[in-house]
Amino acid sequence: MQIIIKFDENGKILPYSGGRLITMDESPFLIFLASAGMCSAVYVRAFMAQRGMSLEGVSLTESISYNRVTNMVDTINIHVELPPSFPEKYKNAVKSAIAQCPVKRHLGTPPNFEIQTSLDLEEKSA
């Protein structure tokens, strides 16, 4: 599956899958998956802005590989499309900027989840 991350004319980050804008109403799981690419886009946008560079011609493609046995994501690949005018000297720097994305870092070291209900809390107080 691919998720395309684009910037609108105001630099707003928009995720698409199958040509359609991904929304929370559509799929919370797709928003979760898209958050890695969207977070990367935040860092690309900041990188470009710090250097006075335009976002025109910049997009990100997030390719997701699933393990059909576990039904879990195996690999998330982020490809950054840069315009031909992008300076070669910044190629590794933009990748380093993306590496700072906290979504990526959290997926590498996921948090523990604790789930409670209101009934659990009532049992403790009784």
Question: Domain containing 11 — which CATH number?
Answer: 3.30.300.20
Name which of 6, 36, 33 is nearest 98 in CA terms. Answer: 36
Name which of 58, 76, 49 is nearest 14 in CA terms. Answer: 58
Distance in angstroms (rounded) separating the CA atoms of residues 49 and 19: 27
Q: pTM, whole model, 2 decimals?
A: 0.83
Domain count, the chain: 1
Name which of 80, 101, 113, 114 is nearest 35 in CA terms. Answer: 101
How confident is the prediction along the chain (126 residues), in pLDDT tens digits per residue?
Answer: 899 999 998 889 999 999 999 988 878 888 999 999 999 999 999 999 999 999 999 999 999 998 999 989 999 999 999 999 999 999 999 999 999 999 988 988 889 999 999 888 766 666
Tell me which amino acid residue 99 is: A
Domain that holds residue 54: 2-125
